[in-house]
Structure 1
Amino acid sequence: MSLPNPTEHGRAVVTGASSGIGEALAAELAARGHSLILVARRGELLDALAQRLHAAHGVTAEVRAVDLSARDARAGLVAELAEREITILCNNAGIATFGPVADLDPGYERAQVELNAVAVHDLTLAVLPGMVARKSGAILIVGSAAGNMPIPNNTTYAATKAFVNSFSESLRSELKGCGVHVTLLAPGPVRTTAPDPAEASIVDRLVPDFLWVDTEYTAKAALDALGRNKMRVVPGLLSKGMSVAGQYSPRAITAPIVGSFYKKLGG
């Protein structure tokens, strides 16, 4: 079992490709010979990445500067992907908020639901019929260990990740034996390089260095797991601990403990 082979017209789609895990996934796929469709809001960053990947690996990298949290904006991309030969879809784009949800901007919370959950659903359903017809395809969905438990002060994010966690694993069972792989990536804190202490965010200050995992390692581990059609890949000690706690610990105990930590992230 492996990832679909690169083809002349086939494309691997990566959302949230302008930075972080998405950029690392795009680079890893390009290194494996896959031409790409790079999706994110910031077109200038995607253009620069596309040029780098073409120069380094000779692949084609198409750019789609789209705000996936806006239904009207992503509708065109959804329609395009339904007509293209999409061999791999990496549903990576996502945002998070911290603090009591009653104090947060309702519009931004709604956009978070659209991006983290509805867009994942839309894009997956767009590419799935073609993959099933070809009996070949791979879908990576970036969920989170946060989706395994209720997390006060991270309410919308945890709820959206609960949706994609369940969606991914349910879909995988539906597609058993049809040649389409589905893997859930549930990472903990991920970064490319350690930040300058003077510019470190509150997340960087509260999470010890040994709990962070590297984006390049995460991308390689995720694609290797997708190639093996593994149900879930959980890189990093913190995400592994949260996964275990979410599945086996009483929620009445874990929710207040985890929620108090996330309250600090909200300032």
Structure 2
Amino acid sequence: MPTALITGASAGLGAEFARQLARRRADLILVARSADALEQLATELRGEYGVAVEVLPADLADAAGVESVAARLRDTADPVDLLVNNAGFGLPLRFADNDIDDEVRHLRVHVEASMRLMHAALQSMRGRGGRIINVASVAGFISRSTYSACKSWLIGFSRWANAEYARDGVSVTALCPGFTHTSFHERMGLAVGEEGVPGFMWLNARDVVRTGLRDAARGKSVSIPSLRYKAIVALTRVLPSSLTSGVARRGRV
């Protein structure tokens, strides 16, 4: 059976990845900070789908936490076939008002941890084959504080890595959803509807994950769920950044 390692697996898109992959009979390695939440999800998935589920609690803002996950990815005796870099969190858009230590932690989780885990995964995937999905965002195509900058890096690096390592049988896909109904916004203290985003712009987590898995299987470097967000990304290529960044400020996350 294939084995998938998912970071940020305790809730949101990470938990949805776990459920859809378990439904496809993949064995799982679940990574997040909360051991209790991971154990609860693992018990559910083992009981419903009969798959093997390994729980690996780790804080990806911490060097030791990242290394514990990287070591598991480098294990050739029990190799990982799919890495889903999903862990992340948001901050208020006003960079100068944010605590700089929070911003550095934000950068470590979104960029440094993803890069280190990709590097570790490639050690065991090259020549054998494998897939990497980096959960980015449509925000990566728009000027929107440090969150956009982090996601833009992830998109650009995924595009390069997908072309570079295709010869080794490894595909790398940046999954770029727009606003998606998960607990992401609740963790920032925002109630439903408080983000300033109209209802038709929201996506369903099941559809986002389904699209990401499909596009990764096709070897796509960038996956953008839904036609409306594809259209938005297309517009960002022709509109001035001053206009797109102004529109982006409408949402609070």
Which of 171, 181, 195 aligns to 1:181? It is 171
Which of 74, 98, 105 aligns to 2:99? It is 105
Relative CO higher for 1 or 2, CA cutoff 8 Å, sep ≥ 6?
A: 1
SS at structure 2 position matched to 1:176 = helix
* Deviation at residue 133 of structure 1 after TM alignment: 2.9
**Which stretch of structure 1 is more off in the superposition, 32-41 or 232-241?**
232-241
* Deviation at residue 47 of structure 1 after TM alignment: 0.4
**Which stretch of structure 1 is more off in the superposition, 237-246 or 31-40?**
237-246
The superposition leaves residues 61-100 of structure 1 with CA deviations (integer Å, 9 ceiling, x where unpaired) of: 1111111111222222212221240100001111111232
Asked whether the 8 Å contact 2:127–2:169 carries over to 1, the reply is: no
The superposition leaves residues 233-265 of structure 1 with CA deviations (integer Å, 9 ceiling, x where unpaired) of: 111456334412332211132223323x14xx2
SS at structure 1 position matched to 2:235 = helix
Give the structure-2-normalised TM-score.
Answer: 0.91
Match of 2:181 in 1: 191
Amino acid at match of 2:111: A
Report how many residues are paired: 248
**In 2: Cα distance, 1:144 partner to 1:106 partner:** 22
Amino acid at match of 1:143: A
> CA separation of 1:204/1:216 partners in 2, compared to 1, >3 Å: closer, same or farther?
farther
* Deviation at residue 121 of structure 1 after TM alignment: 0.2
Match of 1:243 in 2: 233
Amino acid at match of 2:102: Y
Fraction of identical pairs, as percent? 31
Which of 78, 83, 87 aligns to 1:89? It is 83
Asked whether the 8 Å contact 2:42–2:54 carries over to 1, the reply is: yes
CA RMSD, 1 decimal: 2.2
**In 1: Cα distance, 2:106 partner to 2:199 partner:** 27
SS at structure 2 position matched to 1:248 = coil
Match of 1:3 in 2: none
> CA separation of 1:99/1:202 partners in 2, compared to 1, >3 Å: closer, same or farther?
farther
**In 2: Cα distance, 1:43 partner to 1:26 partner:** 15
Q: 5 Å matches for 1:1-267? A: 6-7=1-2, 11-83=3-75, 84-134=78-128, 136-151=129-144, 155-191=145-181, 201=191, 204=194, 206-236=196-226, 239-259=229-249, 261-262=250-251, 265=252
**In 2: Cα distance, 1:167 partner to 1:192 partner:** 26
Asked whether the 8 Å contact 2:73–2:124 carries over to 1, the reply is: no
Where in structure 2 are there 5+ consecutive unaligned residues?
none
